């Protein structure tokens, strides 16, 4: 199984605006995690200007679908996002080198 990184760029006032969308964002993420597609996720700190989410799937479509349906993206908290393939060489689920 391949790994994919989803990078988010946040609006400057993200911390002030996220509150009303946070429960739906977490529920959205939990559904992907429950299916084993979202491995881990977290936001950058100091400054809180973005996030990285790690997916395990055969194609980038899973991460792209996540972003397309994410309440943070739909409500303008994310100014941009991109998906990159990540070849993990050490850790659980590492790809052979």
> CA 2, CA 17: separation in Å to the nearest integer?
33
* Count of CB atoms situated within 10 Å of the CB of 79: 14
Residue 56: the pLDDT is 96
* CB distance 53 to 5 below 8 Å: yes
For the chain, give every domain's residue range.
Answer: 2-86
Strand ranges for the chain from DSSP E:
2-10, 38-43, 50-57, 78-86
Q: What is the pLDDT along the chain (97 residues), one digit of tens a residue?
A: 999 999 999 999 999 999 999 999 999 999 999 999 999 999 999 999 999 999 999 999 999 999 999 999 999 999 999 999 999 888 887 777 6
CATH of region 2-86, choose from 3.60.21.70, 3.40.50.300, 3.30.70.1060, 3.30.300.30: 3.30.70.1060
């Amino acid at each position: 199984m391949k790994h994919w990184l989803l990078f988010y760029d946040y609006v400057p006032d993200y911390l002030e605006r996220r509150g009303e969308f946070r429960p739906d964002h977490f529920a959205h993420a939990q559904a992907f995690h429950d299916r084993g597609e979202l491995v881990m996720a977290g936001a950058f700190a100091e400054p809180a200007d973005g996030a990285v989410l790690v997916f395990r799937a055969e194609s980038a479509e899973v991460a792209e679908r996540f972003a397309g349906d994410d309440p943070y993206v739909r409500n303008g908290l994310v100014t941009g996002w991109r998906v990159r393939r990540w070849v993990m060489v050490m850790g659980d689920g590492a790809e052979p080198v």
